[in-house]
Amino acid sequence: MFRAMRRSRQQLSEEETLRILEEGQTGVLGVCGDDGYPYTVPVNYVFQAGKIFIHGAKSGHRMDAIRRCPKVSFCVIAEDRVVQEELTAYFRSVVAFGRARVLEEEEEIRQAAMLLGLKYNSDRALVEREIRKEIRALGCVEITVEHMAGKEAIELVRMRRSPDGGSLAQ
């Protein structure tokens, strides 16, 4: 169903892939937008137990697109370092595919919002106050991940595999 990575030597392990999803701050959500055009939007998120949770307004382009077609992609970039002298970029990223569901029940919205809030601010009382204040306007989405793959630049692969673990020998 999902394609195998063409450059399989650059594929990250499942452990590394999960770490990127768990530690990332911002992801890019891709949905099937209006008139069949892809629509992507950067979002804060939390990843837990094979699910990605995001929040935003209850209505808008993103929510309409998810209700119309729940298939989504989600990308997190962990590293993106341009190396000018090599005319390349050293990157490490993850792309996940899954099915999104707009959360409808207040309790599931509250739980998702709590996970999100505590990822970005450890003050539980503050997070709870903000959720109580915003719950009526808050829209949350749960993405069940069906497939994911992490990839890194070939230069990073070579560095990790080199005997000195350092720079590339030319």
Q: What is the mean pLDDT of residues 133-141?
A: 94
CA angle 102, 100, 113 (to 5 degrees): 50
Count the domains in the chain. 1
36 within a domain of the structure (yes/no): yes
Report the pLDDT value the prediction gives residue 170, as an integer from 0 to 100.
35
Q: Whole-angstrom Cα distance, residue 60 to residue 135?
A: 17
Radius of gyration of the chain (CA): 18
150 belongs to a structural domain: yes
Condensed to tens digits (0 to 9), the pLDDT of residues 18-34 reads: 999 999 999 999 999 99
Looking at the domain assignment, is residue 117 inside a domain?
no
CATH number of the structural domain spanning residue 33: 2.30.110.10
Looking at per-residue pLDDT, the higher value among 45 and 11 belongs to: 45
Mean pLDDT of 81-97: 89
As a whole number, mean pLDDT of residues 126-146 equals 95
Instruction: Answer yes or no: is 126 within a domain.
Output: no
- Report if residue 89 sits inside a domain: yes
153, amino acid identity: A
pLDDT at 124: 96
Whether residue 110 lies inside any domain: the answer is: no
Question: Residue 95 falls within a domain, yes or no?
Answer: yes
pLDDT band at 69 (very low <50, low <70, confident <90, very high): very high
What one-character DSSP code corresponds to residue 108?
H
* Band of pLDDT at residue 166, cut at 50, 70 and 90: low
Instruction: For residue range 98-112, list pLDDT tens digits in order.
Output: 999 999 999 999 999
Amino acid at 95: V
**What is the pTM for the complete model shown?**
0.87
Residues 6+ apart with CB under 8 A from 79: 90, 91, 92, 93, 152, 156
Q: Is residue 16 part of a domain?
A: yes
Percentage of the chain exceeding pLDDT 90: 72
Q: Tell me the C-alpha distance between 140 and 79, whole Å.
A: 27
Q: Which residue has the higher pLDDT, 90 or 123?
A: 123
For 49, the 3-state DSSP assignment is: coil
- pLDDT on residue 159: 82
Domain span including residue 16: 8-104+139-158
Structure-token match 């005319």, residue found: 87
If you search the block for the tokens 């959360």, which residue do you land on?
A: 103
